[in-house]
Amino acid sequence: MLETGVTVRDPGPDDAVLGMLPRRVALPESVEEVAEVLRACARDDLAVVPVGGGTKLHWGPPPERFDVLLDLCCLNRVVEHAAGDLVVRAQAGVTMGALAGALAAEGQELALDAPFPDATVGGTLATAVAGPRAFRYGTARDLLIGVTVVLADGTVARSGGKVVKNVAGYDLGKLFTGSHGTLGVIAEAAFRLHPLPADRRWIVAVADPPGMAERGPCRVRELAATLAASQAEPSAVELDWPHGQGPIWMSVLVEGAAAAQRAEALAALMGDALRSVRAEPPPQWGAIVRDEVLAEVRFRPSRLTGVLDAVHYSGFSLRGSAVSGRMWLELWDDPGEDKTVTALRGLRERLTALGARMTVLATPYEGVDRWGEVSSLPLMRRVKEQFDPGRRMSPGRFAGGL
């Protein structure tokens, strides 16, 4: 099995995906080796799960079948950092932390906040996680300008390039971003970069949750809307509501020239909310704290109050961007399968009624409807059938069992 020149080892307990162990772990060291492994898997009809830092490997349901864990840790070169062009090319296994370090040396950054520092470029793309600054810079797909992927049959394909502006051909990068390893393997990626901001300031404030009538109605939405519309241009407006109870913490990031003055100007807009301006990020800024049970809520920012109402006393902690309408629901104290399944069902119902979308990214419980209705699912199935007709790439791990 897997008789190629590529390094292969037997699996250990750390290689399990939701309790399932692969038969082999392959450790390719180049794009060509990735292709070689996938060709061999195609020959023997072996199912493959690619992995980078392994930080989100337990997200999604377990694979339908699982033969080979394709560990991209050895594809860890920053291939090219063209600082004058504000462009970087990196292999999939480079960690976001290492990449940030390399870029910072030239005064630049990839304006993509990874919730886990050990996450790799490939994993960050494959899961399309977004952080606080997506409000200003967009998400992974917005910063990705080129990609090299390896398909289930070993075909190596590129799309985009290493220039910021490029509309030649279909954008495979966007298609693979957020595909959770079900279309093929992201082997290399090129991103547009930004200069490191000259300065940064955070405003940290406390606001009351909804329903605390004696101090007036919940002002969080109003505050967030004011900040979002401000011409002082905050880069992020984050909420942190532990357990969906008690005070709501709001953190606002201001970046760039004159950040301090702009932060003061923004703080002044926040009325009587308790607040302070600081030069350091608040604790757990942009991080995912717990992800045994993790959901993502997407909503129109004007519906924020409704979202808060839905989450209040649900037992879930709500963290994320009030202005992009993208937040995490984290369960910090798991009350067990039945209660969690019921709570998630209730949340989906209430959120769907608001026109919001809840996707359960991680849960150990099978009874959970992870994705809800997806109107374009038939088209997605056809895409999957084209790219991976043998269903060998992370089979069953994605929306609608893709």
Burial class (CB in 10 A: 0-12, 13-18, 19+), 186: buried
**Contact status: 399 vs another protein (CB under 8 A):** yes
Give the number of other Cβ atoms within 10 Å of residue 134's Cβ.
Answer: 24
| Number of residues located near another protein, criterion CB under 8 A | 83
User: Rule CB under 8 A: which of 244-303 touch another protein?
Assistant: 256-258, 261-262, 298-302
**Contact status: 105 vs another protein (CB under 8 A):** no
Least distance between another protein and beta carbon 10 (Å): 25
Residue pair 7/22 in contact by the 8 Å Cβ criterion:
no
Burial class (CB in 10 A: 0-12, 13-18, 19+), 361: buried
Residue from 29, 32, 118, 233 in contact with another protein (CB under 8 A): 233
**Contact status: 342 vs another protein (CB under 8 A):** no
Query: CB-wise, 19 or 84, nearer to another protein?
Result: 84
Query: CB-wise, 15 or 137, nearer to another protein?
Result: 137
CA distances, 291 to each of 90, 158, 334, 361 (Å):
27, 33, 11, 9
**Contact status: 10 vs another protein (CB under 8 A):** no
Residue pair 138/145 in contact by the 8 Å Cβ criterion:
no
Applying CB under 8 A, which part among 22-30, 37-45, 309-317, 340-348 lies near another protein?
Answer: 37-45
Query: CB-wise, 39 or 243, nearer to another protein?
Result: 39
**Contact status: 385 vs another protein (CB under 8 A):** yes
Least distance between another protein and beta carbon 354 (Å): 12
Residue pair 148/156 in contact by the 8 Å Cβ criterion:
yes
Q: Which residues contact 2 (CB under 8 A, 6 or more apart)?
A: 8, 24, 26, 37, 40, 41, 44, 46, 68
Three-class secondary structure of residue 149 per DSSP: strand
As a whole number of angstroms, the distance between CA 328 and CA 324 comes to 12
Residue from 29, 32, 118, 142 in contact with another protein (CB under 8 A): 142
User: Rule CB under 8 A: which of 61-100 touch another protein?
Assistant: 82, 84-87
Residue from 73, 383, 396, 401 in contact with another protein (CB under 8 A): 383
Query: CB-wise, 20 or 228, nearer to another protein?
Result: 228
Query: CB-wise, 17 or 297, nearer to another protein?
Result: 297
Identify the sign of the CA torsion 304, 310, 312, 317: negative
Residue from 55, 124, 177, 363 in contact with another protein (CB under 8 A): 177
Packed helices 304-311 and 337-353: angle between N→C axes, nearest 10 degrees: 160
Applying CB under 8 A, which part among 91-99, 272-280, 327-335, 383-391 lies near another protein?
Answer: 383-391
